[in-house]
Structure 1
């Protein structure tokens, strides 16, 4: 494992380019998801996305010379990641977008560093600093203001409380996958290979869940639906997940997590232009508080990540 990068690492092209590319892509995917659930049950939209992403990720592993053979414990980890990251997380997120604007859902998921820190404390014994707690409290206050504004305006006329609960469930599911993959089983195998198997296991669970909850497959005729599916699968999954986790390895989890702040800015900007999101004084105050809190909390994580316990090579 490499040491944490020195200051100004984000200014280096080999770091800055994947950092910005990942944020731009993930910032756009929130709006694309809205089109995926317009005519198709959310469970099938998730299944189609990862049914396309799985063979593409295996192809990427083979093209980059990575072995797709893994030991049994790595397959166990991939199965857990498939359940929590590529099934539960996206199922909850897709469902939440039926009630909230994509920018708000992105903002809730963007506070995942809070659940990451708590789960890492419980499962990995990592410490949580006072500055991190302070930043998290500020960010959560901002989220509360944004949700109050959402409840008042409700541009989608959805159930705001249900949408928020679904988004939070998606956030916790992703956090579980993030923390669990940080163990030795994940470090023993190539990242792309681990992701390929995790997506394959996830899509199997996705299809079973879709059959149970939504019935037989729904195949829309819209070309835009399948174009959106291809974007989410190939670009929003196969391109971004390896890039992001490589950033975590090179600059540390704390600095890489700044990506989430930029994702939120991009997602809410798209929501403003394409979904008519209304920036009231309450919403502006909430967004500013949330962004400030994230920066404070993530800077605290950066300090903590600068001197990690060195794992086995």
Structure 2
């Protein structure tokens, strides 16, 4: 394929653009509709589209009970509760800061892979985790200094960290599914379905009114999040991952927070402090340290 590098660049740019802009779209869903229902609506629509995509790609959709249990865990972590926590956090934090906290997924994935998959973490991973934690602390130092669960900033930080942890655990479930050779599209379709059902259940148990905000801003944000943020972004990312490898494709998690922060600065009038700038730098440095593979030492030829 002569234009393979350009195609890869297009996939990369699409993933960064879509995931970098979903955070501001999420802000437009905070308000009338309960967060759990917004998440349920999003993944009901996304699951329907991905099921059609999987059928068109002729991927099998029938699995046994043990596989469905794994896909349910993936759905609960990756396509429901993680977003539920972030929707809650969006009421207290700017979209750019949400994206920065989410970028810690890179470090959490490796640490959770060590715990749950037996993949030993390298010393560089621990250094990266320390950099990331220091960056988050710098970004939220005013909230940490006057930490109080009633404080909006502290509440937003805790919710977004919970969402990031859930997403990372969903990644581990997805890794187990791929280790079994299960088709990615089919797994995503079932995972999104289980995630949507779980959020409908949370809405029912919490007594949230089953309403829909029929405004242009809410409806547009819902369509964008479902189709671009969930279907197209995951499709582009997974295609890119298959073409250039997980390490290189993973750089999107470093770049899309920069897009989100740029939008937040313009749209939400986010004010930068020197400490906040240093915090973003530390978080990105930690992610880069994880994603950059060290060069192998040159081998000396035997005489």
Partner of residue 44, structure 2: 51
User: Who wins on radius of gyration, i.e. which is larger?
Assistant: 2
| Pair 1:259 & 2:252 matched | yes
Query: Which of 170, 173, 195 pairs up with 1:202?
Result: 195
CA contact (8 A) 2:71 2:173 kept: no
Bigger mean CA offset, 141-150 vs 27-36: 141-150
| Pair 1:100 & 2:90 matched | no
| Pair 1:148 & 2:150 matched | no
Partner of residue 282, structure 2: 289
Partner of residue 217, structure 2: 224
Q: Following TM superposition, by how much is the alpha carbon of 1:255 offset from its aligned partner in structure 2, in angstroms?
A: 2.2
Q: Deviations over 1:164-192 (max 9, x none)?
A: 11111111111111012212566422211
Bigger mean CA offset, 163-172 vs 278-287: 278-287
TM superposition score normalised by structure 2: 0.88
Alignment CA distance shift 1:47-1:184 (3 Å): closer
Aligned pairs, how many? 289
CA contact (8 A) 1:132 1:298 kept: no
Q: Secondary structure at the match of 2:202?
A: helix
CA contact (8 A) 1:66 1:192 kept: yes
Partner of residue 81, structure 2: 88
CA contact (8 A) 2:107 2:128 kept: no
Alignment CA distance shift 1:120-1:24 (3 Å): same
TM superposition score normalised by structure 1: 0.86
Q: Distance in 2 between matches of 1:39 and 1:223?
A: 13
Question: How large is the RMSD of aligned CA atoms in angstroms?
Answer: 2.2
Q: Which runs of 5+ in 2 are unaligned?
A: 297-303
